[in-house]
Amino acid sequence: MQQSLEENNSLSKNYCFHEVVRIDKTSLTPEKFFQEYQKNGTPVVVTGLLDSMPVWDLDFLCEKLGDRKYPVRFNGWERYKKEKNQWDNIGSGVESRSMPFREYAQMVRSEEAYNKDIYLGRCALKNTPLEDTPILRQAEAAMGLKMPATSPNLWVCPDTHVTPLHYDPMDGTLVQLYGSKRLVLFPPSQTYNLYPLSLFNYLRYGLKLRANYSQVYPERPDLVKFPRFEQALAHRYEVVLNPGEILFIPCGWWHEVTSLGDGVVCSINRFWHIFPLFRAMTTWNKWRLHSGVLMAAPHIASAWLAAIASKDREQKLRHLIQRL
């Protein structure tokens, strides 16, 4: 059995994969982006739009964000030794605490963030000096993106951090600014073969263990426990996103993100309402996740009441809003 598991675990690394299409700004128009990628929900990497972007390293971020407080997730490495259905939380459901950005930057420099897998994720840049970055607005306009669902979100982590395989209920753009990220993607059609966490988790854990995450470790899959994953491998895509590149991730596309570099890795993402509307109405993964949130309503209401009654009301509410 041990030999069988070792063979299974190496299978995904040896399997052929599809490459995500890259398109340079010189070949891009809003009409082409819509017709070839947005309309049908196809991932694409856009290059050349951010060539004049400043370097978003820790020094730059400390200068701009300094003592502003952000929720920081304390993941720890021990969880990755367990099956994901044994975790108590995942993604934005991971317990976090607020700290000044400068303090988190010191954790990265001292390698404490690496040693404990501490992650500053999905922190809104609204009302910060980085909220209005003209070159980002110009890039979004060049892609013809409209109807943003969120403000830009900042993601900062040490290299080797992994965001587990999951999907989002909206379209997204991932802008790589410092270091690189390797993404493994699967189309929505493979949801059944990726063994998503159960919707019933919402009844027990609320939003802490969401059903848009896969139970499979794609780089070391247990094909004895998850045999259908082998079928999904035929639909696997990979891409390494480098500084200055933008990845369009359509709603429902599964993706696992591994940070690459030497020290810190920095990205911005933004979520967009799905367009055209027909794609939003017919994307089962979107409605699957929304139904789960409805199941978590009692937990959400309880969390709101607890946050309002807390002495750290502002911090608790900020964390809850981020989780929602």
Per-residue pLDDT tens digits for 150-168: 999 999 999 989 999 999 9
Q: Which two tokens stand for residue 192?
A: 């059944």
50-62 average pLDDT score:
95
Q: What is the average pLDDT value for the chain, to the nearest integer?
A: 91
Exposed/middle/buried for residue 283 (C-beta within 10 Å: 0-12, 13-18, 19+):
buried
Residue 314 pLDDT exceeds 80: no
The total of other beta-carbon atoms located within 10 Å of residue 234's CB is 12
Domains located in the chain, CATH noted:
19-294 (2.60.120.10)
Say yes or no to pLDDT of 321 above 70. no
* Residue scoring higher pLDDT (93 or 6): 93
Whether 230 has a pLDDT exceeding 90, the answer reads yes
- Over the stretch 171-203, which tens digit does the pLDDT of each residue have? 999 999 999 999 999 999 999 999 999 999 998
Q: Measure the CA–CA gap between 252 and 255, rounded to whole angstroms.
A: 9
What pLDDT band is residue 2 in, cutting at 50, 70 and 90?
A: very low
pLDDT reading at 16 higher than 90: no
| Residue 14: pLDDT band with limits 50, 70, 90 | low
| Length of the chain (residues) | 324
Residue 8, pLDDT above cutoff 50:
no
pLDDT at position 305 is: 77
CB 103 within 8 A of CB 137: no
* Structure confidence by residue, pLDDT tens digits, 84-96: 989 999 988 888 8
- What confidence tens digit (pLDDT) does each residue in 236-291 have? 999 999 999 999 999 999 999 999 988 899 999 999 999 999 999 999 999 999 99
Residue 301 has pLDDT above 90, yes or no: no
Buried b / exposed e along 174-211 (16+ C-beta atoms within 10 A):
bbbbbbbbebbbbbbebbebbbbbeeebbeebbbbbbb
Q: Is the pLDDT of residue 26 over 70?
A: yes
CA-closest candidate to residue 261, choices 177, 167, 159, 145: 159
Q: State pTM to two decimals.
A: 0.91
Beta strands in 159-304 (DSSP E): 162-166, 171-178, 180-186, 237-241, 246-249, 254-260, 264-272
User: Which residue has tokens 């699967």?
Assistant: 186
